[in-house]
Structure 1
Amino acid sequence: MSIKRVLFIILSLFSVGRISAQDSSLLKSLNDSMDANKNRGYVTGTFKATHLINEQTMESPAKNNLNFVIQHRFGQLNSGSYNFFGLDNATLRLGLEYGITDDLEAGIGRSSYLKTFDGFLKYKLLKQGDGGGMPVSVSILGTVTDYTQDMSNKPYLNTRYRTAYAGQLLIARKITRNLSLQVTPAFIHYNLVPTVADKNDLFAIGLGGRYKFTRRMSIDAEYNILPSNQVVSTTVHNSFSLGWDIETGGHVFQLVFSNSQSMVPTQYLAQTPGTWGKGDIYFGFNISRNFNLNKNRKK
C-alpha cells in the first residue's frame, strides 16, 4: 500500500461526523482541566497518556502536574535462549514532564541507549470541538537530543556533532469514544551524518491510533514512515510498534512490542535497523505516573 493511500485513509477517518465527548478514560490526574475544557466545548480524553508508544500524543499534563515516565525495552526476541530471548538485556528511558500551563509542557529524559539526554517543549495549538467546530486537536513538539556514550576513538565527536533536533506536528482526532487516531509529520536535523551522501535534514511521518475495548484497557499501534533516499550509507527500516494499555488507578501501564530499541524521535524515526520479519522485536513496557503539585488541590 502506497504512502499516499495510507494518508488518504487516515485523513478520511478524520473527517467522519460528530463525536461524543462523554469518554473520561484519560487519567483524572493528567487532566485536572478536563471539566473546564468540557464546559468550553472541547473533546477530552483523546489518548490515555502523553505517549502513544514511542511517539508522543497531543496530550499534556495539566498545569502544575508532574508526569513521571518509565520506558523499558528488553533485548531482541531473536537473540536466542542464551540471552533468554532478550530478557537478559535492557534499555531504559526515564522522563519527567511538567505542565507549565494546561497547554504548554516541558520535559527532560535520559536513555541508557547511547547514554542519550533529551529535552522537549510541547504546545497545544488547537483543540477538537465537541459536536462541531474544530475537527482535530493539534500540538507542536520540539525535541533536542545529545548522546554521551564514550567515543574516545573519535575525538572529533564533541557535543555539537552529537546533537540532533526533531520538530513534530501532532494532529489527532477522537473518532468515537473508543477510537482515536493521530498523524505526525516530523522534521529531523542531524548536525553530523555518516557520509556526505546522507542528508542532514530528514522528513518522516507517523501514523498511530488507539482503540479502547474495555473501560480501562486499549490497544495502540504506531507506524513511522521514513521515505527512501534520505539515509543511504546504512540500512534503516520504518518503526512499527504495538501496545496494550492497562489503566490502574493513578497510572497507565503499557506492554510494548517494537522493532525500535530507542525511545526518542531523533533515533527511532531514522535509526531503526531491525525488522519484524526477522524477529528484531523488542518487548518492554511503559509506565506513566502523574503527581499533582497544585498547592490548593482538592483533598
Structure 2
Amino acid sequence: MPPLRLLFCLLIIPLASVAQDDLLGELEKQAGTQQTVPVAATFKSTRIINGQSVETVKRNHLDFRISHRFGRLNSGAYELFGLDQAVMRLGFEYGLTDDLMIGVGRSGEQKAYDFFGKYKLLRQTPGRIPVSVTLFGSTVIRTQKSFVPGETFSFQDKLTYTGQVLVARKINENLSLQLSPTYLYRNKPELVGDERLLLALGVGGRLKVSRRVSINAEYFYAFRERNDDLPYHNSLAVGVDIETGGHVFQLHFTNSLGMIEKQFIGETSGAWDQGDIHYGFNISRTFSFNKKKNPVVN
C-alpha cells in the first residue's frame, strides 16, 4: 500500500470510530428521553361511555358536551323502538390546568344538576409509572318534584355524592383498560329499602380499530345487598367512538337511561336480557382559549 494511502487510512479510522460513538450516544439519549415522556390519549374523551375516563380537559380549553339517551328498544314499532322518547344532558367542562378540570351539567332525567372536579394524579410513563391515576368527585342535586302525594324532600335529601379513583393503562397503541372503584352516597335514596351508601367497581376499555375509530365498552358492578323489591341492575354499555376533526362522536347501546353516576351506577332499571336497551350518543366539542391556537380536541 502506498505511504500516502496508508496514512489516510490511519487518520480516517479513528475519526469514523469517534463519529460512530457520538451517533450511538445521541440515539441512546433520545431513546432515554422518549421513555420519560408520559403516555398520551389513553382514551379519546373524558368519558369511556357513561363513566368517566382518566382523561382531563387541557388547560384553558372548554369542552361542550351534548348527551342523548333514547327510549328502550323493546318499546316496539309504535314508539319507533325508543326513538320517540329522549332524555338529554348538557355539560360544560373546563381545564384549569392540564391536570385539573371542573365541570357542570344538567340532565332531563330527574332534572338533576351535577357539579364535579377531576385531578390527574399520575400519568403513565414507560419505565417509571405503570398506570395513570385520576381522582373524580361530584355532587348532584335532584330538583324533580316527588311523584308521591304528600312526600317532601329537603334540600339535603336531594343531594348525592360520588367519589372515584380512576386507574388506567394504555397497553399498546390500540388497547386501553381502566378500573373505576366508586363510592356513591345518597342522602335519601329514590326507593324505600335501598341503601344510602353504595360501593361499585367499574371496568372499561377502548380498542382502536383505525386512526379515528375505536370500540368502547364498560360495566359497573354495584355491591348492594340483595333485595328483590328493588328493580335495579348493573350498568353495561358498548359503543363506538368516532373522531372528526374538532368533534368526538360516541354512539352506543346501554341499559342505563341516566348519564351521571348517581343514575347509571345506582339506579339502572333496565336489563339487557329483557331488551331494556337504550340507543344513545355523546357529542364532544372542545374550544381553545389559548392565544394564537386553533380549537383542538383533547
TM-score bracket relative to the smaller structure:
0.7 to 0.9
The structure-2 alpha-carbon separation of the partners of 1:209 and 1:158, relative to structure 1 and needing over 3 Å to count, comes to same
Partners of 2:129 and 2:109 lie apart in 1 by: 39
CA distance in 1, matches of 2:233, 2:97: 37
TM-score (norm 1): 0.83
Q: Verify the 8 A CA contact 1:202 1:230 in the aligned structure 2.
A: no
Aligned partner of 2:127 among 107, 132, 142: 132
Alignment-derived partner of residue 65 in structure 2: 69
Aligned to 1:285: 281
**Matched residue type, 1:180:** S
Answer with 1 or 2: which has the greater Rg: 2
Match of 1:264 in 2: 260
Aligned identity (percent) is: 47
Partner of 2:38: 42
Distance in 1, Cα, partners of 2:207 & 2:171: 10
> Equivalents in 2 of 1:243, 1:154: separation in Å?
42
1:165 matched to 2:161? The reply is yes
Task: State the alpha-carbon separation in 1 of the partners of residues 176 and 246 from structure 2.
Answer: 22
Unaligned runs of 5+ in 2: 1-32
| Deviation readout 1:173-202 (Å, 9 max, x if unpaired) | 000100000000000001013577432111
Whether contact under 8 Å (2:137, 2:163) holds in the other structure is yes
Give the structure 2 partner of residue 142 of structure 1.
Answer: 137
1:104-139 deviations in whole A, cap 9, x for unaligned?
00000001011111010100111100x311100000
Give distance in 2, aligned partners of 1:222 and 1:77: 20
Paired residues of 1:199 and 1:230 also in contact (CA < 8 A): no
Q: Which runs of 4+ in 1 moved over 6 A?
A: none
Larger displacement relative to structure 2 (260-269 or 229-238):
229-238
Matched positions, count:
262
| One-letter identity of the residue aligned with 1:83 | E
Distance in 2 separating the partners of 1:107 and 1:295: 22
Q: Is contact 1:38-1:44 (8 Å) kept?
A: no
CA root-mean-square deviation = 1.9
Corresponding residue of 1:193 = 189
2:130 is aligned with what amino acid?
Answer: P
Contact 1:216 1:248 in 2 (8 A): yes
**Equivalent in the alignment of 2:177:** 181
Q: Work out whether residues 197 and 232 of structure 1, in 8 Å CA contact, stay in contact via their aligned partners in 2.
A: no
2:20 alignment counterpart = none
Distance 2:286 2:34 in 1: 21
- Alpha-carbon shift at residue 271 of structure 1 (Å): 0.6
Partner of 1:80: 76
Q: Check whether the contact 2:199–2:224 (CA below 8 A) recurs between aligned residues.
A: no
2:204 equivalent to 1:222: no
1:45-99 alpha-carbon deviations (Å, 9 max, x no partner): 1000111100010101110000011111110000111111100000101100000
The alpha carbon displacement at 1:223 in A equals 0.3
Q: Within the alignment, does 1:91 sit opposite 2:90 as a pair?
A: no
| 1:58 aligned counterpart, secondary structure | coil
Match among 96, 101, 107 for residue 97 of structure 2: 101
Provide the C-alpha distance between the structure 2 equivalents of 1:154 and 1:254, rounded to a whole number of angstroms: 41
Give the corresponding residue for 1:31.
none
Opposite residue 147 of structure 1, the aligned amino acid is R
Q: Which one has the bigger helix percentage?
A: 2
Q: Give the direction of change, closer, same or farther, for the CA distance of 1:195–1:151 in structure 2 (3 Å limit).
A: closer
- Report the Cα distance in structure 2 between the residues aligned to 1:264 and 1:120, rounded to whole angstroms: 11
Structure 1, unmatched stretches of 5+, are 1-36
Residue 41 (structure 1) shift: 1.4
Residue matched to 2:146: 151
